[in-house]
């Protein structure tokens, strides 16, 4: 694996000062707007897109997408699996971009086809391809069918698939990338199912990452209080996601990552000004700009911290 220790050392002095710092109770400006990244400062950026889906881009566009990511200072990205059948393609992409692209192995809760994966399949994919994480796995209640019985059946499969993947991750010593989405954003049903399942497996929380964090500060403080990680995507830049913005202001600086979830979740202001744009890793700088604004930190420091945290979480650079 690539050695990032030199790059990480650059931000380490800063990390030591900031690690224990907790931000005061949230008090959020009414209208926050992401700034476009400043090209003058791009050269100094060292960043990780901790969650994207390279296989969702057309084949002929992938090289250009990666080139644009490297050109804005992204050093490493994780292309996250959504199904076991797609793992070999991700593995090939990681192999073709060694030290820069890493992959995970897992099945997204909405891609289970009403069937719990078989343990041998999960372990086989892990042994064959050497991923940096298991996932994304979790609970997606947004996609549940209408009708109590049908919804119950699907959520049962999601739970069993999650329990299996979490157990394997614990067994083989890999971190876990978690997806958790409610039917409505004010609800906490998927969240409660997730907490229950993690407890059931006695999963080591410092190896758990809740991606695209979209809950409030109470959930964030509880989650990070157990040692677990969160990552923020472009969704946090949206005006309607004030709860997550408040949560962000409470984040522990050694427990947050940044991601794009590309090709999904285009950040502001692109989402408003150029809504036809396909989200790609280079757009993470818009999210970083917004996050640095909310945390009153330099953008380079936000990116450096999230790279350091990501390398620690995924076990890179050791
Ligand atoms: Zn994703």
Helix, strand, or coil here: 251? coil
226 vs 204: CA distance, rounded Å: 9
What would the pLDDT profile of 133-188 be if each residue is shown by its tens digit?
999 999 999 989 999 999 999 999 999 999 999 999 999 999 999 999 999 989 99
Q: Which domains does the chain have, with CATH numbers?
A: 5-14+42-314 (3.20.20.140)
Q: How far is the CA of 74 from the centre of ligand 1 (A)?
A: 18
Q: How far is the CA of 262 from the centre of ligand 1 (A)?
A: 8
Residue 17 has pLDDT above 50, yes or no: no
Q: How far is the CA of 51 from the centre of ligand 1 (A)?
A: 6
Measuring CA to CA, how many Å separate 131 from each of 62, 103, 173, 210, 315?
Answer: 20, 5, 11, 18, 11
What would the pLDDT profile of 275-298 be if each residue is shown by its tens digit?
999 999 999 999 999 999 899 888
Average of per-residue pLDDT values in the chain: 87
Q: How far is the CA of 257 from the centre of ligand 1 (A)?
A: 14
Q: pLDDT at position 310, please? A: 95
51 vs 163: CA distance, rounded Å: 21
Q: How far is the CA of 59 from the centre of ligand 1 (A)?
A: 18
Q: How far is the CA of 261 from the centre of ligand 1 (A)?
A: 5
246 vs 261: CA distance, rounded Å: 21
Q: How far is the CA of 57 from the centre of ligand 1 (A)?
A: 13
Q: How far is the CA of 146 from the centre of ligand 1 (A)?
A: 24
Residue 38 has pLDDT above 80, yes or no: no
In the chain, % of residues over pLDDT 70: 86
Q: pLDDT at position 287, please? A: 94
Q: How far is the CA of 46 from the centre of ligand 1 (A)?
A: 22
Residue 50 has pLDDT above 90, yes or no: yes
β-sheet bridge partners, residue 77: 49, 101
Per-residue pLDDT band for 300 (boundaries 50, 70, 90) equals confident
Nearest Cα to Cα of residue 211 among 128, 116, 314 = 314
Q: How far is the CA of 176 from the centre of ligand 1 (A)?
A: 13
What would the pLDDT profile of 202-240 be if each residue is shown by its tens digit?
999 999 999 999 999 999 999 999 999 999 999 999 989
Q: How far is the CA of 82 from the centre of ligand 1 (A)?
A: 7
Q: Are the beta carbons of 213 and 230 closer than 8 angstroms?
A: yes
Q: pLDDT at position 44, please? A: 54
Q: pLDDT at position 193, please? A: 97
Q: How far is the CA of 50 from the centre of ligand 1 (A)?
A: 10
Q: How far is the CA of 170 from the centre of ligand 1 (A)?
A: 21
- Mean pLDDT of all residues in 73-77: 93
Q: pLDDT at position 40, please? A: 54
- Mean pLDDT of all residues in 240-251: 92
Q: pLDDT at position 63, please? A: 97
181 vs 183: CA distance, rounded Å: 7
Top-ranked range on mean pLDDT: pick from 76-80, 114-118, 141-145: 76-80
What would the pLDDT profile of 97-107 be if each residue is shown by its tens digit?
999 999 999 99
């Amino acid at each position: 694996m690539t050695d990032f220790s030199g790059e990480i050392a650059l931000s380490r002095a800063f990390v030591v000062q900031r690690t224990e710092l907790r931000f005061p109770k949230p008090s959020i400006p009414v209208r926050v707007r992401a700034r476009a990244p400043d090209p003058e400062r791009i050269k100094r950026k060292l960043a990780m897109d901790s969650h994207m889906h390279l296989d969702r881009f057309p084949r002929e566009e992938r090289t250009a997408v990666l080139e644009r990511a490297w050109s804005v200072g992204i050093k490493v990205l994780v292309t996250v699996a959504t199904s076991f059948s797609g793992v070999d393609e991700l593995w090939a992409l990681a192999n073709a971009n060694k030290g820069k692209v890493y992959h995970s192995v897992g099945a997204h809760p909405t891609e289970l086809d009403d069937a719990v994966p078989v343990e041998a399949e999960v372990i086989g994919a892990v042994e064959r391809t050497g991923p940096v994480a298991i996932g994304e796995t979790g609970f997606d209640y947004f996609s549940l069918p209408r009708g109590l019985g049908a919804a119950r059946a699907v959520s049962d499969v999601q739970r069993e698939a999650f329990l299996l993947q979490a157990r394997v991750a614990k067994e083989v010593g890999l971190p876990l990338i978690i997806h958790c989405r409610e039917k409505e954003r004010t609800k906490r049903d998927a969240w409660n199912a997730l907490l229950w399942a993690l407890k059931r497996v006695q999963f080591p929380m410092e190896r758990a990452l809740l991606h695209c964090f979209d809950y409030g500060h109470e959930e964030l403080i509880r989650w990070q209080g157990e040692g677990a990680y969160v990552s923020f995507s472009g969704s946090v830049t949206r005006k309607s996601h004030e709860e997550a913005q408040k949560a962000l202001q409470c984040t522990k600086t050694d427990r947050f990552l940044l991601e794009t979830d590309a090709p999904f979740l285009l950040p502001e202001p692109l989402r408003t000004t150029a809504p036809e744009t396909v989200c790609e890793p280079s757009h993470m700088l818009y999210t970083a700009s917004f996050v640095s604004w909310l945390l009153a930190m330099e953008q380079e420091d936000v990116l450096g911290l999230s790279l350091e945290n990501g390398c620690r979480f995924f076990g890179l650079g050791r």
